[in-house]
Structures are given as structure tokens and as C-alpha cells.
């Protein structure tokens, strides 16, 4: 067994201590929600993979060889222009999945998906995913629902990037990131933040300085510490609350 990946035995995972109450050690929300029968069907096809910062999970216009159930860290969905410039249109952590086009039979990605904060995930081949989905209706439904949540993100972020100030967008992005990775420390570079927000590094510096001066964050090279989340929510534009509200509404509907 290598350090970077391991084929997992579902029987061992089902017997493990902790996890979701059924002995499952996975942190991925979608996998944790599966009925035992589907869980046991899916896991033999999964491979645990370390996902370093900047590793590309899906490349724009390229065939999708693997999908990923994110366990930890943060994956960013980027729209890339012809001149190489990019802007983030979606985020996913342990609540989500990378490889959305495969769910409806498409084999290429319209966007680049890259790890912006290192973590790990369960990798599954496109072929194995198609086989699994044919016998796991709850998994298929959960993945399609997640695709809708990601679409809401993309639409809201597009409006956000056009209509709101950089400091408001930065506050929104930090809140969304913290929701997905937990903890108060978010490690990333100024240059990467500029890519995420679709703006210049100088603008990120000014925006971060404003939030720091207000006592909401501490910002140093390669690291942001959230000091006052409640006030950071107040400093954010309406987009953070709008995305969260719609996601929560759909989750409540799904429970009925």
C-alpha cells in the first residue's frame, strides 16, 4: 500500500469505530447518507487519494477519467478564458463531488476543477461510476441534487463578481471556504485568492486590509485567520446568505 492512495475494503470500513453511526469512517456527506446496501456496492470501486494543493481533478475540455468524492480540503471549479485568465464559479469540500458531467452521460468537463486547499478524496473511474449508478438510485439522486446546489453557486457567484465590491466578495468566499473545511485558518496565497475572485492581486491586498483593520480577519502571507465570523457575515454581500438559504431549503425538502 502506497502513502498516496489505498484500495479500501468496505467490510473494514463498516466495522471501523466512529464515523456516521454505522461505522463508516468517510467524511463525505454523500457517501455517509447512502443506505448500507448501496454503500457496500460503491466502496469496492473507490480508491482513497491524497489531493495536494493545485492538483487538477478535471481539466476543461478534456475527457473525465475519474470522479472524486471529496473527503477533506477544498476543490475549486474554475472557468478559464482563452488568454488563460480564470475565475472561480464554485467550491466543494467534504459535502460534495467532482465529475458532475458524468452523471448525465457527458465525458468532458466544461471547467477546470483544482484543489485550492490540500486534502483527500475517494477516486472512482468514469466506467465504474456508470456501473454503480445503474444499481444505486439513492446515490444517483444525491449526486444530481448536489449538481443543482453547485449550479446555484455558479449563478450567484457570477452575479456577485459583477455587482459587488471586492471586500464583500472576499468575505463571502472566506465564509464559504470555512463552511467546507472547518477551523479558523485558511491557507492560500494572495495570487490564488485573486484568481478565485477574478480580480487583481492589488485589489485583494486592499480588501484583505480592510477586513483586517475592522478586526474580522488576520491576514499574512499565505494564511488568513478568521477572527470574528459573525461580523464577517455582516461584511459579506447578500450572496453568501442567498446560497446558504437555497441549499438549506432544498435539504429540508429532501427530508420530507
- CATH number of the domain residue 77 falls in: 2.60.120.10
pLDDT score at 43: 92
Domain boundary residue, one of 102, 121, 138: 138
> Taking a C-beta distance cutoff of 8 angstroms, is the pair 134, 36 a contact?
no
Quote the mean pLDDT of the chain. 89
For residue 219, pLDDT over 50 is answered with: yes
Residue 101 CA: distances (Å) to CA of 41, 104, 148 = 22, 6, 12
- One domain, residues 16 and 119: yes
- One domain, residues 208 and 98: no
CA–CA separation, 120 vs 49, rounded Å?
6
- One domain, residues 177 and 125: no
In a domain, 67, yes or no: yes
For strand 47-51 and strand 223-226, is the pairing parallel, antiparallel, or unpaired?
A: unpaired
In a domain, 90, yes or no: yes
- One domain, residues 17 and 129: yes
Read off the pLDDT of each residue in 102-117 and give the average, rounded to a whole number.
94
Read off the pLDDT of each residue in 166-185 and give the average, rounded to a whole number.
94
In a domain, 149, yes or no: no
What's the total number of domains in the chain?
Answer: 2
- At 146 the three-state DSSP class reads helix
pLDDT score at 4: 43
Lowest mean pLDDT among 22-26, 150-154, 193-197, 235-239: 22-26
In a domain, 63, yes or no: yes
- One domain, residues 26 and 89: yes
Could you read off the pLDDT of 126-142 as tens digits, one per residue? Answer: 999 999 999 999 999 99
In a domain, 179, yes or no: yes
For residue 5, pLDDT over 80 is answered with: no
- pTM of whole model > 0.95? no
In a domain, 196, yes or no: yes
- One domain, residues 134 and 210: no
In a domain, 150, yes or no: no
Q: What is the CATH number of the domain that holds 173?
A: 1.10.10.10
DSSP character for 241? H
For residue 175, pLDDT over 70 is answered with: yes
For strand 47-51 and strand 56-58, is the pairing parallel, antiparallel, or unpaired?
A: unpaired
pLDDT score at 51: 97
Strands of the 223-226 sheet, one edge to the other? 185-186, 223-226, 217-220
In a domain, 152, yes or no: no
Higher pLDDT, 55 or 11: 55
Domain that holds residue 241: 164-255
Cα angle value 153/163/100 (rounded, 5°) = 20
Counting residues of the chain whose pLDDT is more than 70, the rounded percentage is 91
Could you read off the pLDDT of 227-255 as tens digits, one per residue? Answer: 999 999 999 999 999 999 999 999 899 88
Query: From the CA atom positions of the chain, what is the Rg in Å?
Result: 18
- One domain, residues 202 and 245: yes
CA–CA separation, 111 vs 76, rounded Å?
10
pLDDT score at 87: 87
Could you read off the pLDDT of 54-108 as tens digits, one per residue? Answer: 999 999 999 999 999 999 999 999 998 898 888 899 999 999 999 999 999 999 9
CA–CA separation, 107 vs 207, rounded Å?
39
- One domain, residues 38 and 107: yes
- One domain, residues 127 and 176: no
Amino acid at each position: 500500500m502506497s502513502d498516496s492512495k489505498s484500495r479500501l475494503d468496505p467490510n473494514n470500513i463498516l466495522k471501523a469505530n466512529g464515523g456516521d453511526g454505522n461505522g463508516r469512517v468517510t467524511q463525505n456527506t454523500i457517501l455517509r447518507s447512502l443506505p448500507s446496501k448501496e454503500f457496500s456496492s460503491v466502496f469496492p470501486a473507490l480508491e482513497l487519494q491524497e489531493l495536494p494543493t493545485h492538483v487538477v481533478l478535471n481539466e476543461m475540455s478534456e475527457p473525465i477519467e475519474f470522479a472524486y468524492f471529496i473527503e477533506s480540503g477544498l476543490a475549486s471549479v474554475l472557468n478559464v478564458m482563452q488568454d488563460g485568465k480564470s475565475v472561480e464559479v464554485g467550491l466543494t469540500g467534504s459535502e460534495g463531488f467532482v465529475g458532475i458531467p458524468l452523471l448525465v452521460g457527458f465525458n468532458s468537463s466544461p471547467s477546470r476543477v483544482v484543489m485550492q486547499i490540500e486534502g483527500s478524496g475517494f477516486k472512482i473511474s468514469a466506467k465504474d461510476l456508470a456501473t454503480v449508478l445503474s444499481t444505486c438510485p439513492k446515490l444517483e439522486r444525491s449526486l444530481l441534487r448536489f449538481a443543482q446546489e453547485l449550479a446555484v453557486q455558479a449563478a450567484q457567484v457570477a452575479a456577485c463578481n459583477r455587482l459587488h465590491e471586492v471586500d464583500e466578495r472576499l468575505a463571502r468566499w472566506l465564509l464559504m471556504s470555512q463552511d467546507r473545511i472547518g477551523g479558523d485558518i485558511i491557507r492560500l496565497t494572495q495570487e490564488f485568492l485573486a484568481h478565485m475572485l477574478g480580480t487583481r492581486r492589488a485589489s485583494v491586498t486592499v480588501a484583505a486590509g480592510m477586513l483586517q483593520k475592522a478586526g474580522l480577519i488576520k491576514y499574512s502571507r499565505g494564511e488568513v485567520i478568521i477572527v470574528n465570523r459573525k461580523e464577517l457575515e455582516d461584511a459579506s454581500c447578500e450572496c453568501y446568505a442567498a446560497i446558504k438559504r437555497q441549499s438549506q431549503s432544498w435539504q429540508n425538502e429532501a427530508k420530507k
